[in-house]
Every structure is written in C-alpha cells, then in structure tokens.
Amino acid sequence: MRYAEVAVLVRARAVDRLFDYLVPEGMELFAGDAVEVPFGAQRVEGYVLALKDHAQDDSVSYRAITQKLSGQRPPLTKDLIELLDFMRKRYFCTWAAAVSTVLPPVIRSPGKRYYQLDRQWVALHGTQDADADLIAGLDKVFTKKARLAEATLLEKGFSRALLTRFVRQGCLTLELGGSTVSRRSEIWVNAVPDAALNRVRSAHKRELLILLQEKGAPQRYAELLEQGLVTSEMIRSLKAQGLVQVISKPVNESGEETEKRLALTEEQRAAVASIVELIDAKKHETILLQGVTGSGKTEVYLQAIERALQKGLQALVMVPEIALTTQIVARFRRRFGSRVAVLHSRMSERERRHQFASIYEGVADVVVGARSAVFAPLDRLGLLVIDEEHEATYKQDRDPRYVAREIAAWRAARANAPLILGSATPSLEVMYRVESGRYTKRMLKERATGRPLPEVRIVDMRQEMKMNQQGLLSRALRDALKDSFEHQEQAVLLLNRRGFSSFLLCRECGETLTCPHCDVTLTVHRTPEHTLLCHFCNYRAPLRDTCPACGGGRMRTFGAGTQQLEQEVLSWFPNVRVLRMDVDTTAGVGTHEQILSAFSKGEADVLLGTQMIAKGHDFSRVSLVGVVAADAALHVPDFRSAERTFQLLVQVAGRAGRHGREGRVVIQTFAPDHYAIQAAAAQDYEQFYRTELPLRRRLEYPPFTEIAQFIVTHDEESKAREGAQQLHHLLEASLKGCERVQLLSAAPAVVGRIRGAYRYQVVVKYHSFRAVSKRLREAFDQAVAVCGNGVSLHVDINSWMTL
C-alpha cells in the first residue's frame, strides 16, 4: 500500500493539517502533484507533499485519491514543498494559504502536449550530433505529421526526459495549452580557418566556402538560403568534412540577435568576479551590491547570470514593480533572448501560462519578475538577485504577508547559491547585517557612464511662506524649470502623497507633532472624535492650531494633489507639455509603460507624479528633478519614515543627468535641517546610516528588534476594538516571563478602515523570533478560536511597513 500526505485546499484554520490518502493501484504519482481527494462530503483539490509506505495510523482505513490533476510535471518542485513549511512557521499561515501563494491558480491544470520538429535544425545539426540516431528516428516519426501528441511519441519509445532535452536544445517545439514553448535561436555558419579548398569537389560548395572565407565572420544561414547560396545538404556535408562550423545564436522574441556584453568598469569587474567565484564554488553568501544611482548594477547582474547559465544553472532576478521596470526586462531580453521568462501580477492568464510552461520545460532559465516571482519553480538555482532591495513592494500586503527578501534568502541558502542585493540606498536591516559580518559588501562608487552625480539644492519652504509665496512651486524651482525648458531638456517633478493619513504641520516653523513614546508622527484621526493619535501605542492628544515650538497660529493639515501641481505648472508655463503619472492616470493595464515610453521619446517636457516615477528609470534627457514636498514622506506615521524619505530623495535625484548635461535637483521642504534631507542632499548614505542607527537602537526598532503586528477587523468598530483587546490579553498571558519583549496596547491601525471594515492593531517587539514564535502563534490561534463571527485576524511578522 502506498499513501500520500496531502495538503488540501480548504482554508479553515480548524482543519489546517496534512491528511493521509491511499494511492490507488496504478496511479503514477510524485511528491508535488496536484490531486483531487474526498474531504467530508465534498471533493477538493490537494497537493501531495510526500509519499510513504505507512499511514499515520495503520488501524484506520484511509480514503483514496480520486484523481490526479497535474500533468507530466509536478507543479510543486522539491524546494517549494519545503518552503511551504517555512512559510507556515514564519508567517503563521495555513497549508492551504501557503500552497495558493506559491502556485498561482492558472498553472495547476495541465493542457494537452504536442510537439513539432524543427526541420532546419535537424537538417543542420542532425547527423553529426551525438544523438544522430535518435534525431533520425524522430525525423521518421514526424514525416507524415507536422505535429504529434506527446502520448504518440511516448508510444514510439521516446522518453519524456529525451523530449524535454530536445525542446531545450531547440530541435523540438512544445505546444501547451495554446501557446508554444521553444528556445528561439538563429543559425549562422562560418568557414573553419584555413579550410582546405582542394578537398571540395562541388563548385557550389567551393563558391560558398570562398565567400565565407572572404567575409571572415559567421553569416546568417537564413540569408544565405534566401540568396540561393546554400542548401542544408551542402552545410551538412561541409560540416562533416570539418570545413564549416554551424553556430546557433539565441535571439529575442522579435527575432533580433541578442546583445553583446558591455566592457566593464574596474569596479563592475571586481563585483562580477566576486559573484562568479561563489557561483563556481556553489557557495551561498549574501552580497550587498551598493552602487550609486547609474553605477551600472544591471550590467553586473547580467554578466554574473551569464556565468550561472554557462554552468547549466538558473537565475532569478527580482525587480520592485514590473510595470515600472519595462526597461530592465527589455535589457534582459536583449541579452538572453527567449531564455528569459517574466512573471508579474499584471499579466493575462494566457501569458502567465506561457511563461510558466517555459520555466517548467527548462526553456527559460532566467526569471525576471516582481514579488511573486520569488516562487518561480526553478530547481537548479545558481544565482538570485534582488534589485532595489530596499523597496517596500517586496512585502506582500495581503495574507500571507511574506517578505520576498526572506524567501529569496531561504531559497538561495538551500540551493547553495549567492544572493545579490542591489541598491544605492540599502535598507538599514541589510547594512546592519553587513556590519555584523553576516553579509559581504561590494561598492560601485562611480556612475558607469562617467557622469557626475547631480547637484542638489534644498529650498526652505518656511522662508517661501514668509515671502508670501503660497503656491506649490518655489521661486528656485520655477527658475530651474524655466532653464530646463529653455535648453530643451526634460524635468521630473515628484509629489508623493504616500499613505492615507494626514498630519499637522506648522507653516511658520515646520514643526510637526510626534508621539512621546514611539517617535512617530501623530496623525489626525476623524472618527469617532477629532484627535491626534499614535497608531503604534494609542497615545492621544487634542487637535490644535497653535504651534508648540514657535507659538504661531498656523498648524494646518498637510497635503496637495498631483492635479493641483499640474495646474500650477501650466499656469506658470502655459506652453509646456505635461505628463502626469499617479493612481488616476495608471489604472489600466499597460498605462505605466505608455506614459513612461512617451516621456522617454520626448513627447513631453515634464513628467510629474507620485513615488512611482522615482524608481529605476534611465531617461537620457532629464536634467532637472524637483521634489515638491519632501515632508509628506518624512511624516508618514512609521518608524521607517526617515529612511524612506532618504531613499526616495536619493533615488529620484538619481534620475537627473545620467547621460547629458550635469543634473540638478531641487528639494522643497519645511524641515531643511532634518538629517534625512541633509544626507539625501549630500547623497551620502554613510552619513544617514550613522545618524539613523543609534535612533533605532534607542527606541528598540528594527534592525535591533523585529516587529509582529496583529490586525483585527470587523464591520463594527466596537467589535474590532474588543477583538484587539482580547488578543492583547491572550498575548500578555502567553508572553509572560519572556524577556526583552514589548507588547503595546491595542490601537486603531494607520489605515483605520478599509472597505467599510474597522481595523485595530496590536504590536509586539521582540529580539528573537525563535524565542517567541510558538507563544505568538499560540495566542493568535486562540484568538482566532474565541473571536466572534465577522471578526478577522491577520498577522504581519517583521512588518516591512507599519501600515
């Protein structure tokens, strides 16, 4: 008897365990396969995590699996199966939630598999190959039909492993669920140096050889064929005589030849060398690649990946938000052609299916993608890269709230592969790990193009207010815009309105109000009564008009929209062309790309928008960057607000002057002396880090502690609050006697209400996850059990952003 240990896709926490099922006689089943099983009176989908000869309890008679759902390949690879367990323990999620997160629904059901033979490939490679007999055999089977079902080929004695290998080599094309999986390449021929012409009898062949020798470089087979200069038979026999070489070069989707690597700068070369050393040694290590904006980190990734591919290994590259990073994907495609698969959340189902198929079949061995790509089914990982490591988008904001960086680290360690974290502005967590010796660091201090970093100027908005300048644009920023337009250059204007909260800011001295216990900004809370509130610990204070610092009477809520900014720009410069990028203008699929590509083609003079314009773009004609209100980022009620502000300002500044004239940056702020703004203006990471770290230490924030944030929601405010208080009691009881743990009072969450549901939070700070995880989990499970109907509980471990 064989048994399967199955994770069933039933969400209820009450049945969150693995179930044993009998494997019916004759069912070919592997760990990782999708199955249908009886569950109560229903039939449900499940995943086989292990196969075994004995069930948990031999005296029980187990029910049998009713059906196998997956096709040839188990959708869950071996390391993904193990990852499920890690996710459950780390993010307190159920088996079902872990499986659903790791595997998007579209890839579970298999399609029928058909193959086509590439005759040109066979004609040119066939007979010389070590596989000559097998290829000749395939050729014969395919004579009558252009397309054969997999079952037919298996019947004829070709094994699956063989078919897969031929797909990877380019000899076969696989058709799966309406899309074609193939490794696109183009065939080139070249004369062997000093090929002895006298050995060639046929005049045609001799002509061809002379032509190739005269050219002295490989020629496209397709072109020679068009010109009537070759037949496949000619090439085959010349190849057999050792007079020509047949080369297949990878091409990209549109058939263009893949691009050559760039000659590296000295710094890049050293970085690539240290990564290559790890790849060769199959050694896991995490390397922080800290490179200033425009230092050419991407080229370092590309060349390191090339090495992994040469060794038959795969690479995974994570980018913060794929819709915003079309440029980077295009570069990967230009370099590695159809070996690149792209995964992100905005793809059509059909496209996603296609991308997954090419990964499973091994045709794509470089995966580039956003957060969820961290689960790509790669079983020969040789290198993992997280670009812009510091970005908040690597944190999943729904359950299970995983951090892609943690998952990548887990997979890299398991695969004995290096993990590269790239950033101009590394997160404090990562830099702290570098300092404590857990990660190594490689620096790129110069821009790869040799351009200098832009010059940054801070404008004190308090002075502007005194001069009775009421608008969003200071005089300095207006002058800079005018200068940029006069030189026919482009400008980027950033107005970030991150978060949903508002805060009070003194228009005369720039003061804001912070929590005396947590040092985060107090936000204006409108329900049930108007108060100032700390979302961390529930401290409250009354609203006020007068400033506690300067005594002025102009404490006002802060915030302006991008539309308002657009109007103001147009009122000063009626003839300039403005593109606006924010949540309103980017709702549709592909709209990001459209706006960005219009801007990079020079169809507008100004791009203005929220933080989505700050990241990663490489625009060649931008010489001016203006930050309209740096304070909006500074006063997000989050202990990371200074860090986020510094990162945002350095990143957006980095868009200026990457190629042409020297860049200029204008930062407008009510807090010109704030250390985050000062360090950003100097583009000095070290200066920022040295100031921020002691503050974190004093207040016991990450990287010195870790934070678990529990969220309780309900349609009625009182129920949500009571639920949070109940959870607080349970946590108190279960954490009793634990050292160095802080449990904060239940408080309204920063986003107090989403889609009608009220949200309360309870925060726990601790030093060691290992020491508290069981206790946290226990309290959480109890709270789930005792909380009434309609209350839902979420947990956010190591909250990346306290939202």
Sites of contact with ligand ATP (CB under 6 A): 262-265, 268, 291, 293-299, 424, 448-449, 616, 618, 654
List the structure tokens of 83.
């990852």
Pairing of strands 286-291, 419-423: parallel
Q: Which is nearer to ligand ATP, 96 or 494 (CB)?
A: 494
Residue 515 interacts, among Zn ion, ligand ATP, none and using kind-specific CB cut-offs from 5 to 8 Å, with Zn ion
Q: Which is nearer to ligand ATP, 295 or 314 (CB)?
A: 295
Q: Coil, strand or helix: which one is 236?
A: helix
Tokens 């108060």 map to which residue? 531
Pure H helices in 417-474: 428-435, 461-466
Residue type, 795: V
HSE (side-chain half, CA atoms, 13 Å) at 279:
27
Pairing of strands 664-669, 622-627: parallel
**Least distance to ligand ATP from the beta carbon of 296, Å?**
3
**Least distance to Zn ion from the beta carbon of 802, Å?**
11
**Least distance to ligand ATP from the beta carbon of 252, Å?**
17
The continuous run of DSSP H or E covering 74 comes out as none
**Least distance to Zn ion from the beta carbon of 798, Å?**
20
Q: Which is nearer to Zn ion, 249 or 554 (CB)?
A: 554
Check residue 537 for interaction with Zn ion (CB under 5 A): yes
Q: Which is nearer to ligand ATP, 265 or 562 (CB)?
A: 265
Q: Which of 39, 47, 121, 539 binds Zn ion (CB under 5 A)?
A: 539
List the structure tokens of 84.
């499920």
Q: Which is nearer to ligand ATP, 552 or 602 (CB)?
A: 602
Check residue 460 for interaction with Zn ion (CB under 5 A): no
List the structure tokens of 690.
């040295």
Interface pattern 505-534 for Zn ion (x via CB under 5 A):
-x-xx-x---x-xx---------------x
Interface pattern 472-511 for Zn ion (x via CB under 5 A):
----------------------------------x-xx-x
Q: Is 587 exposed, middle or buried (0-12, 13-18, 19+ CB in 10 A)?
A: exposed
**Least distance to Zn ion from the beta carbon of 506, Å?**
3
Check residue 91 for interaction with Zn ion (CB under 5 A): no
List the structure tokens of 194.
């000093």
Distance of CA 253 to the CA centre of its chain: 22
Check residue 222 for interaction with Zn ion (CB under 5 A): no
Q: Which is nearer to ligand ATP, 224 or 652 (CB)?
A: 652
Residue 448 in contact with residue 301, Cβ under 8 Å? no
Residue 294 interacts, among ligand ATP, Zn ion, none and using kind-specific CB cut-offs from 5 to 8 Å, with ligand ATP
Residue 625 in contact with residue 454, Cβ under 8 Å? yes
Q: Which is nearer to Zn ion, 61 or 468 (CB)?
A: 468
**Least distance to Zn ion from the beta carbon of 753, Å?**
20
Residue 631 interacts, among ligand ATP, Zn ion, none and using kind-specific CB cut-offs from 5 to 8 Å, with none
Q: Which is nearer to ligand ATP, 65 or 383 (CB)?
A: 383
Check residue 536 for interaction with Zn ion (CB under 5 A): yes
Instruction: Verify cis geometry, omega within 30 degrees of 0, for the bond prior to 528.
Output: yes
**Least distance to Zn ion from the beta carbon of 552, Å?**
5
**Least distance to ligand ATP from the beta carbon of 309, Å?**
19
Residue 518 interacts, among Zn ion, ligand ATP, none and using kind-specific CB cut-offs from 5 to 8 Å, with Zn ion
Residues 6+ apart with CB under 8 A from 398: none
Residue 262 interacts, among ligand ATP, Zn ion, none and using kind-specific CB cut-offs from 5 to 8 Å, with ligand ATP
**Least distance to ligand ATP from the beta carbon of 646, Å?**
15
Residue 514 φ then ψ, to 5°: -120, 160
Q: Which is nearer to ligand ATP, 22 or 329 (CB)?
A: 329
First-to-final CA distance of the chain: 51
Q: Is 583 exposed, middle or buried (0-12, 13-18, 19+ CB in 10 A)?
A: exposed
Residue 618 interacts, among ligand ATP, Zn ion, none and using kind-specific CB cut-offs from 5 to 8 Å, with ligand ATP
Angle in degrees, 0-180, between the axes of helices 641-653 and 675-682, rounded to the nearest 10: 20
Residue 289 interacts, among Zn ion, ligand ATP, none and using kind-specific CB cut-offs from 5 to 8 Å, with none
Answer yes or no: is 787 a known binding residue: no
Angstrom CA distances, 434 to 288, 289, 293, 689, 744, stand at 8, 11, 20, 12, 30
**Least distance to ligand ATP from the beta carbon of 449, Å?**
5
Answer yes or no: is 93 a known binding residue: no
Q: Which is nearer to ligand ATP, 335 or 775 (CB)?
A: 335
Tokens 């040295």 map to which residue? 690
Check residue 746 for interaction with Zn ion (CB under 5 A): no
Dist. CA 332–CA 311, nearest whole Å: 18
**Least distance to ligand ATP from the beta carbon of 362, Å?**
28
Q: Which is nearer to Zn ion, 504 or 515 (CB)?
A: 515
Give the CA angle between residues 798, 396, 108 to the nearest 5°.
130
Dist. CA 726–CA 293, nearest whole Å: 48
Residue 506 interacts, among Zn ion, ligand ATP, none and using kind-specific CB cut-offs from 5 to 8 Å, with Zn ion
Q: Which is nearer to ligand ATP, 20 or 618 (CB)?
A: 618
Give the CA angle between residues 521, 525, 529 to the nearest 5°.
140
**Least distance to ligand ATP from the beta carbon of 302, Å?**
9
Residue 517 interacts, among Zn ion, ligand ATP, none and using kind-specific CB cut-offs from 5 to 8 Å, with Zn ion
Check residue 549 for interaction with Zn ion (CB under 5 A): yes
Q: Which residues of 690-722 are buried (b: 16+ CB within 10 A; e: fewer)?
A: ebbbeebeeeebbbebbbbbbbbbbeebebbbb
Concatenating the DSSP letter of every residue in 22-61 gives EPPTT----TT-EEEEEETTEEEEEEEEEEESS-S-TTSP
CB-nearest residue to ligand ATP = 296
The footprint of Zn ion on this chain (CB under 5 A) covers a number of residues equal to 15
Residue 372 in contact with residue 343, Cβ under 8 Å? yes
Residue 37 in contact with residue 8, Cβ under 8 Å? yes
**Least distance to ligand ATP from the beta carbon of 343, Å?**
20
Answer yes or no: is 515 a known binding residue: yes
**Least distance to ligand ATP from the beta carbon of 589, Å?**
24
HSE (side-chain half, CA atoms, 13 Å) at 369:
27
Pairing of strands 286-291, 440-444: parallel
Q: Which is nearer to ligand ATP, 71 or 654 (CB)?
A: 654
Answer yes or no: is 171 a known binding residue: no
Residue 654 interacts, among ligand ATP, Zn ion, none and using kind-specific CB cut-offs from 5 to 8 Å, with ligand ATP
- DSSP annotation of 305 reads H
The continuous run of DSSP H or E covering 732 comes out as helix 717-734
Residue 426 interacts, among Zn ion, ligand ATP, none and using kind-specific CB cut-offs from 5 to 8 Å, with none
Dist. CA 633–CA 649, nearest whole Å: 10
Residue 550 interacts, among ligand ATP, Zn ion, none and using kind-specific CB cut-offs from 5 to 8 Å, with Zn ion
Taken as a whole, the chain contains a residue count of: 803
HSE (side-chain half, CA atoms, 13 Å) at 184:
17
Residue 291 interacts, among Zn ion, ligand ATP, none and using kind-specific CB cut-offs from 5 to 8 Å, with ligand ATP
Residues 6+ apart with CB under 8 A from 354: 179, 181
Check residue 54 for interaction with Zn ion (CB under 5 A): no
Residue 666 interacts, among ligand ATP, Zn ion, none and using kind-specific CB cut-offs from 5 to 8 Å, with none
Q: Which is nearer to Zn ion, 286 or 668 (CB)?
A: 668
Give the residues lining the site for Zn ion (CB under 5 A).
Answer: 506, 508-509, 511, 515, 517-518, 534, 536-537, 539, 547, 549-550, 552
> Which residues fall in the annotated binding site for Zn(2+)?
506, 509, 515, 518, 534, 537, 547, 550
